[in-house]
Amino acid sequence: MTLMKTKILLIYTGGTIGMVKDYDSGVLKPFNFNELLQRIPELYQLDCNIDTLSFDSPIDSSDMHPRDWLKIASIIEDGYENYDGFVVLHGSDTMSYTASALSFLLENLDKPVIFTGSQLPIGDLRTDAKENLITSIQIASLRQNSKSVVREVGLYFEYKLYRGNRTTKINAEHFQAFASLNYPHLVESGVHLNIFKEYLLPSKRNKNFVVHKEMDNNVAVLKLFPGISLKVLESILNTEGLKALVLETYGSGNAPTDKKFLDLLKKAIASGVHIINVTQCSGGSVIMGQYETSTALKKMQVINGKDITTEAAITKVMYMLGSRVSPKLFKTVFETSLRGEMN
């Protein structure tokens, strides 16, 4: 009996990984993914069949928008029954935002959705694109007992697969461009692929795959700094249509104890604005009430972002607002891990 090869859909949205250099002009131009196997013959060694799909107009990830997240989710929805896994090629600058967003949009995901990209174009002599692409496809095609090994949204870069909604881009020049400072990596590529199954999201049995179709971007982010003007905070909180503010606080969730500062937050919460407390530190967690400087935030029912990344906090809020979570339940739902985005 011949086992069927796994089928992988490669989705190109844009970004450096999909570029090749025209050596006559020195200009980067989009790579024709219909010629993928001819240009990267190593892919023939993978035990899977690969189909490719490209955005009609590939975009730089700096231009990525929630409507593009919904477009990627729809492509996956359309191909969900026909493919065993998906690899999304994406510019690295906002890849953590998109991976986080897709983790929320794709509920009860039972197949791998692996994001990857590169720091150098695919045709460059020292490119990281080939390794990132080949290993991402290999991870997406991993099966055990006729089931996908990875059943979540991941981000693969420089020999490591991370949970997508745990990642942050940390370097604009190194090949190791991403980190997951509050959660271990899921797979490590070396001579062998080492899979850390204890860190993978468990399968949600007998639950139907659901793709959410709405995100509400009436949100803002404010990073605190010593000397921040109350006028700035007031201006942001008075933004027409604002529904949520992700507040990047100091350390374990600390903020100024100035009465005027706190009164502005209280007024906003009373008017229905959701305020989420996340730490501006690269790693670690918000623990409101540990210090006096966060006690007031806890008392006024500011939402505890715990160890969530800013990228995941923003996209989770957009997803929850788009899903019309009731104001009474909003704090409880946000403080609950939905896709493994927080401890």
| Residues annotated catalytic, as ranges | 16
Helix (H, G, I), strand (E, B) or coil at 104: helix
Strand partners, 163: 154
249: left (phi over 0), alpha (psi -120 to 50) or beta: beta
Token readout for 255 is 């903020």
Token readout for 192 is 């062998």
Token readout for 213 is 């179709």
Token readout for 241 is 């249509």
- Buried b / exposed e over 69-85, threshold 16 CB at 10 Å, is bbebbebbeebbeebbb
Distances (CA, A) of 127 to 38, 116, 193, 246: 17, 14, 21, 36
DSSP characters over 72-97 = HHHHHHHHTTT-SEEEEE--STTHHH
The one-letter code for the residue type at 197 is K
